Structure 1
């Protein structure tokens, strides 16, 4: 069970949302705060990750902050170790579709941080439409990151690993480790229940 510091500095179990660190409640903080939280959380195994997950970013000053949400990012889906859909988006009628990640787009975002302006929404929707796919775009493996072995999503065509740690039974804290960026990107995934 995860332990969080009490007012007196001792550690006690993190059991309710009222005890969650502020970065999880507000969705923003520093990179250092996010890494410290990530390092304290429990690891997860592959079985824990199966299914569809709804995602949201944590704002830490990363060039990608808010960009996925602007494009109507839905989340991720883990079918089996070889079949993972890392980018699910919501369409105009609420349909969920899969998108193939693109290295050139990632490099552009990091070099020319795009403003989080609703005017960019049509452009991002167009990009998503161009990269629609039904093919798996990643794998899931147990890998070590920051001193602990936990479930990690490995993109097929990008130098990116997403490592996951457990917040609770239905939420994980994710860190995107991109080879071309020294600053990690953080996000939360919440398990979608009642899926067919």
Structure 2
């Protein structure tokens, strides 16, 4: 396991508040991924940086994301859902796979952590910029 993976895994296990700068540093050091890499079912996890999306997804029992093809994505899978598509976009200076929501002004950008884990950064025009970037992670379970 690389030191980047170790730092990432430590943050996923941390209870309570996580500093956004710590997650942003890992995101910025992570390799980009191509849209096709994301095809499959992914279990989601969230970092509590104080971003309002963390509590919203927790309240709604967020399970993860399903990428059927680059043009057919279930962006929010809930335990108990609008579509999206995958494209390459530039975020924080790096071109990588991104999920563009069909009905919302939201783009999730992804970076590689390990063969079955990606870290994501959400850009949501509905959330004030002062809230910062919402960071999350996905672990591949099928595909």
TM range (shorter): 0.7 to 0.9
Which protein has the bigger strand share?
A: 2
Q: Aligned-pair RMSD on alpha carbons? A: 1.9
- What's 2:50 paired with? 61
- What's 2:26 paired with? 37
- What's 1:191 paired with? 140
- What's 1:14 paired with? 2
- Deviating 4+ runs (over 3 angstroms): none
Partner SS, residue 158 of structure 1: coil
Q: CA deviation at 1:25?
A: 3.2
- Spell out, residue by residue over 1:45-92, the C-alpha distance to the aligned partner (whole angstroms, 9 max, x if none): 11210011000111101112233122221110111121111011111x
Describe the shift of the 1:16–1:163 C-alpha distance in structure 2 as closer, same or farther (beyond 3 A).
Answer: closer
Gapped regions of structure 1 (runs ≥ 5): 1-12, 92-98, 101-136
What TM-score comes out, normalization by structure 2 length?
Answer: 0.87
Cα distance in 2, alignment partners of residues 16 and 186 from structure 1: 16
Matched, 1:77 2:26: no
The answer to whether the Cα contact below 8 Å between 2:39 and 2:70 also exists between their aligned partners in 1 is no
Cα distance in 2, alignment partners of residues 86 and 51 from structure 1: 12
- What's 2:12 paired with? 24
How many residue pairs were aligned?
138
Task: Tell which has more relative contact order, 1 or 2 (C-alpha 8 A, sep 6+).
Answer: 2
The answer to whether the Cα contact below 8 Å between 1:57 and 1:66 also exists between their aligned partners in 2 is no
The answer to whether the Cα contact below 8 Å between 1:56 and 1:69 also exists between their aligned partners in 2 is no
What TM-score comes out, normalization by structure 1 length?
Answer: 0.65
Partner SS, residue 59 of structure 1: coil
The answer to whether the Cα contact below 8 Å between 2:39 and 2:68 also exists between their aligned partners in 1 is yes
Gapped regions of structure 2 (runs ≥ 5): none
- What's 1:88 paired with? 77
